[in-house]
Amino acid sequence: MAMRETILKAIEEPMKRYYEDMTTVLGNWQPLERAAAELLEGRDVNDEEIPEVYLPMLQMMRLIAKVTRESEWDWADPRIQEIFKDKAASPLYGIFTRVMAGTVSAIFSNLQIGTLVEVGAGPGQVTQSICEEMVKRNQSIPLIISDRAPGIMQVREKLARAFPSLSITAHIWNVTEPPPGDLVDRLVKPVLVFERFCLPYAGHEAIDMISPIADILVMQDDLSITGRKMSFDLLYEKIGTTFLTFSEAMRHLKKYFSFIHTCDKETTEAINSGVTTFTVALK
Ligand X SMILES: C[S@@+](CC[C@H](N)C(=O)[O-])C[C@H]1O[C@@H](n2cnc3c(N)ncnc32)[C@H](O)[C@@H]1O
Q: Is cis: bond before 200, omega within 30 of 0?
A: no
Q: How far apart, in whole angstroms, are the C-alpha atoms of residue 202 and residue 219?
A: 13
Interface residues toward ligand X, by CB under 6 A: 120-122, 125-126, 147-149, 173-176, 196-198, 201-202
The residue (of 201 and 259) whose beta carbon lies closer to ligand X is 201
Mark out the alpha helices in the chain (DSSP H runs): 3-25, 30-40, 55-70, 78-88, 91-110, 125-136, 152-162, 181-186, 199-202, 207-210, 231-237, 246-253, 265-270
Closest distance between ligand X and the C-beta of residue 121, in Å? Answer: 5
Cα three-residue angle 11-15-20, rounded to 5 degrees: 155
Closest distance between ligand X and the C-beta of residue 178, in Å? Answer: 12
The residue (of 86 and 269) whose beta carbon lies closer to ligand X is 86
The residue (of 125 and 276) whose beta carbon lies closer to ligand X is 125
The residue (of 123 and 190) whose beta carbon lies closer to ligand X is 123
Cα three-residue angle 58-78-238, rounded to 5 degrees: 50
Closest distance between ligand X and the C-beta of residue 174, in Å? Answer: 4
Closest distance between ligand X and the C-beta of residue 14, in Å? Answer: 16
The residue (of 173 and 256) whose beta carbon lies closer to ligand X is 173
The partner residues of 143 in beta bridges, in order of sequence, read 116, 168
Q: How far apart, in whole angstroms, are the C-alpha atoms of residue 160 and residue 155?
A: 9
Provide the residue type at 43 as one letter: R
Closest distance between ligand X and the C-beta of residue 148, in Å? Answer: 4
Mark out the alpha helices in 111-239 (DSSP H runs): 125-136, 152-162, 181-186, 199-202, 207-210, 231-237
Closest distance between ligand X and the C-beta of residue 1, in Å? Answer: 31
The residue (of 115 and 277) whose beta carbon lies closer to ligand X is 277
